[in-house]
Amino acid sequence: MTVKPAPQAGRGATKGGRHKGKIKPRPKGLGWIIGLLLFAAIATIFYWVVFYTSGEVQARDDPVYLAFERAFPLADGWMVLCALLGGIGLWNRKPWGFLFGLLTGSSSIFLGLMDVLFNLNEGNYALGGTEMAIEIAINLLTLALGPVVIAYLWRNRGVLLG
């Protein structure tokens, strides 16, 4: 009687989300996470197009506010890149999709916190209006997206990276 060695992490796995010739099942909710990542990327791009073309999302038009907002596109671009790579990588079951998903979550939290602190310091939340409602929605979404994506990916890391 021979004893087989215990399976090791990654043993028998191949590229592309396949395991011994079979496609590994996607964890429940992965489609939602991919959708969130892609939504974040598209919504962020849309925001900046509107900001620089019509200005309809600008809560104020003074130099301090505009300088602050104009400091965000590069950092938002990094988050967009991470979200796109995360979504594509997770869809194709690549380990780098997991990494870029985590980076998106962290970037989202950071950007949301920077925006919230500025709005609190400047009293912007008291302004009211459609533009500030959009700003509040963005703050809530960025601060919710990050923890949701990070928690989901971390909870499912064994399946996603296995």
First to last CA, the chain: 30
**Distance of alpha carbon 108 from alpha carbon 40, whole angstroms:** 9
Residues 93-110 pLDDT 10s: 999 999 999 999 999 999
pTM assigned to the model: 0.84
Residues 6-55 pLDDT 10s: 455 444 444 555 555 566 788 999 999 999 999 999 999 999 999 999 99
Chain CA centroid to CA 117, Å: 20
Instruction: Break the chain into its structural domains and give their ranges.
Output: 27-161
Looking at every residue in the chain, the average pLDDT score rounds to 90
Confirm if 151 and 102 have CB atoms less than 8 A apart.
no
Residue 150 scores a pLDDT above 60: yes
pLDDT, position 26: 87
Report the chain's C-alpha Rg in angstroms. 20
**Distance of alpha carbon 17 from alpha carbon 118, whole angstroms:** 43
